Amino acid sequence: MTRILIIEDEPDMRRGLQDNLEFEDYEIAATGNGSEGLRMAQKEHFDLILLDLMLPGMDGMEVCRKLKESGSSTPIIMLTARGSESDKVEGLLTGADDYITKPFSLKELLARIKVILRRTEPMGGSLRDYAFSDVKINFEKYESCKGNLELDLSPREFEILRLFIEREGETVSREEFLKEVWGYTSFPQTRTVDNHIAKLRQKIEDDPDHPKHIITVHRMGYKFLR
Ligand code: CA
């Protein structure tokens, strides 16, 4: 059973999350205190942590930093009430895997949880190694190289490639990327996808201005050719 730790001090929010996630068949532990949450996360195994930012005991950033410092690889989704860009960036720098800004819908949170869990799940053997041109990718170890050079791909870039490869030759829309890779349920900012694709092209294409593998499909999205 997938275990999720909720660290959130607002009682209604915590109980609501717990009830809804239990209804979705997740096994839940919950606390309203940051340092208590850190202790629980260090003592027991969890598949995912939902971590509020403003907490008594120890704030979310600190909990996140301490967990990552202690070598934990448990993915963390930060729950933040503050929507400012600097918080989001700082949250990601301390090692959170994703963030969601309150108020969020349950549907949105569930989608994010599924994306993160899929990312960290051991692969079902289907897509472990993949190669095209001089690029080699290992989706299990998150390793990649182009020729003799190691590629510094972000987890998000791995997931974009994974979706491309699973749908090789088919056009994938920006909305599909946001849904499958980001776990978004509404799509106000499809430019996010374009920015990530542009960076990915810089890394994997011989000539990013004339891409051979990640092809733009006018008005539709992108497709991957091996
Ligand atoms: Ca709080």
* Ligand 1 midpoint to CA 159 (Å): 31
pLDDT class of 122 with cuts at 50, 70, 90: low
Contact (Cβ atoms closer than 8 angstroms) between residue 176 and residue 223: no
Of the three residues 93, 120, 147, the one that is the final residue of a domain is 120
Chain-centre distance for alpha carbon 208: 25
- Domain boundary (120, 152, 186) is at 120
CATH code at position 96: 3.40.50.2300
Domain housing 81 = 3-120
Q: Which DSSP letter does residue 151 get?
A: P
192 and 103 fall within a common domain: no
Count how many domains the chain has: 2
CA of 54 from ligand 1 middle (Å) equals 4
Sign of CA dihedral 88, 144, 221, 165: negative
What whole-number distance in Å separates Cα of residue 195 and Cα of residue 74? Answer: 27
CA-wise closest residue to 142 among 150, 22, 134, 7: 150
CA of 190 to the centre of ligand 1 (A): 30
Q: Where do the H-state alpha helices sit in the chain?
A: 11-23, 34-43, 60-69, 85-93, 106-120, 155-166, 174-177, 191-204
* Residues 131-146, mean pLDDT to the nearest whole number: 92
What percentage of the chain has pLDDT greater than the value 90?
66
Instruction: Kindly list the protein residues that place their beta carbon closer than 5 angstroms to ligand 1, a single-atom ion.
Output: 9, 52, 54
- What is the pLDDT, as a whole number, of residue 92? 66
58 & 147 share domain: no
